[in-house]
């Protein structure tokens, strides 16, 4: 049993590694649902490729998914500007998501066995990943991670201080597109492995949970990685012990992490009392 699940464990650890880091940037930008929207666009591209005769989980469907994701990256980069509030960009992201989901339903209506396609799009097939898929994904994410390391000052500036970055002469829209394009590579591969729901979970919950306890960027990255890996392993173990679907089990484990970290952070807050503060 352990040998069968080992590739899934490796895939989950790799997915957490890149998504927990990117999630910190997404939270700083205030565009929480951009990953969900891009994941939905990637899934739409893949199943549209199937509609035109491509096989799912092949190079052709991957390229179709990647092309759709790049289109979404361009839209998100263009909707962010000096006069665009966070609420307006979130609205644009929500519109993209709901339209992509509606298009996906219409495409699935034209495909035989649409229920199976929908299930794969939502929860993925992380339990059945192979070592070649794991190694290919690890290589791609390593390349994306290297790009983020080389351009970390620019990416940090446009995520945390976009106004200052623009005032300093940085082309925010161009670097925004580069950020979302790299993000698109990650999401396209992640959706193929893990599905829309698990990809969103890996991106947001470790970053949010770490944000309750760490204040520095480095601290949030390391804590997010640790919490994400431990929770992923717990979800996979629970799915094996109780014979549960692996993807949903991992999502529920992260839900418990979010609830627990929120509760602990509340308990750690200082309480005002006459004569001083109590924790």
Q: Running DSSP on this structure, what letter comes out for residue 80?
A: -
Query: Is residue 272 situated within a structural domain?
Result: no
pLDDT one-digit tens code per residue, 49-103: 888 888 777 888 888 888 988 888 888 888 765 555 556 777 778 888 888 888 8
Between these two residues, 196 and 143, which has the higher pLDDT value? Answer: 143
Between these two residues, 210 and 42, which has the higher pLDDT value? Answer: 210
Query: Is residue 274 situated within a structural domain?
Result: no
Residue 275 binned pLDDT confidence (cut-offs 50, 70, 90): low
For residue 37, give its domain range.
2-267
Query: Is residue 133 situated within a structural domain?
Result: yes
Q: What's 262's domain CATH number?
A: 1.10.3470.10
Helix (H) or strand (E) holding 276: strand 276-278
Query: Is residue 275 situated within a structural domain?
Result: no
| Residue 138, C-beta contacts closer than 8 angstroms, at least 6 positions apart | 14
State the pLDDT at residue 264. Answer: 92
Residue 273 binned pLDDT confidence (cut-offs 50, 70, 90): low
Query: Is residue 216 situated within a structural domain?
Result: yes
Helices (H), 30-113: 34-51, 59-78, 86-109
d(CA 7, CA 136): 12
Say how many domains are in the chain: 1
Phi and psi at 124, nearest 5°, equal 65, -165
Per the prediction, the chain carries an average pLDDT of 85
State the pLDDT at residue 236. Answer: 93
Residue 278 binned pLDDT confidence (cut-offs 50, 70, 90): very low
State the pLDDT at residue 25. Answer: 93
* pTM (predicted TM-score): 0.81
Query: Is residue 223 situated within a structural domain?
Result: yes
State the pLDDT at residue 91. Answer: 79
Does the structure show a pLDDT above 60 at 157? Answer: yes
d(CA 85, CA 159): 14
Query: Is residue 40 situated within a structural domain?
Result: yes
Query: Is residue 273 situated within a structural domain?
Result: no
């Amino acid at each position: 049993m352990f040998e069968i699940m080992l590739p899934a464990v490796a895939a989950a650890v790799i997915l957490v590694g890149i998504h927990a880091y990117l999630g910190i940037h997404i939270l700083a930008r205030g565009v929480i649902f951009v990953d969900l929207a891009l994941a939905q666009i990637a899934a739409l591209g893949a199943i549209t490729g199937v509609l035109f005769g491509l096989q799912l989980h092949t190079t052709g469907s991957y390229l179709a998914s990647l092309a759709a994701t790049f289109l979404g990256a361009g839209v998100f980069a263009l909707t962010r500007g000096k006069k665009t509030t966070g609420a307006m960009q979130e609205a644009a992201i929500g519109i993209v998501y709901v339209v992509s989901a509606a298009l996906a339903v219409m495409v699935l209506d034209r495909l035989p066995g649409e229920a199976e396609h929908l299930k794969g799009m939502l929860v993925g097939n992380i339990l059945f990943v192979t070592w070649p898929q794991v190694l290919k994904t690890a290589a791609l994410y390593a390349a994306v991670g290297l790009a983020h390391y080389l351009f970390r000052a620019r990416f940090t500036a446009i995520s945390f201080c976009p106004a200052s970055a623009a005032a300093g002469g940085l082309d925010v829209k161009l670097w925004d597109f580069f950020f979302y394009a790299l993000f698109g590579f990650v999401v396209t591969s992640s959706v193929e492995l893990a599905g829309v729901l698990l990809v969103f979970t890996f991106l947001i919950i470790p970053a949010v949970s770490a944000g309750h306890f760490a204040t520095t960027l480095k601290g949030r990255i390391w804590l997010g990685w640790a919490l994400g890996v431990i929770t992923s392993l717990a979800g996979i173990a629970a799915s094996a012990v109780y014979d549960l679907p692996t993807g949903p089990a991992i999502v529920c484990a992260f839900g418990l992490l979010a609830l627990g970290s929120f509760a602990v952070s509340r308990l750690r807050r200082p309480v005002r009392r006459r004569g001083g503060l109590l924790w």
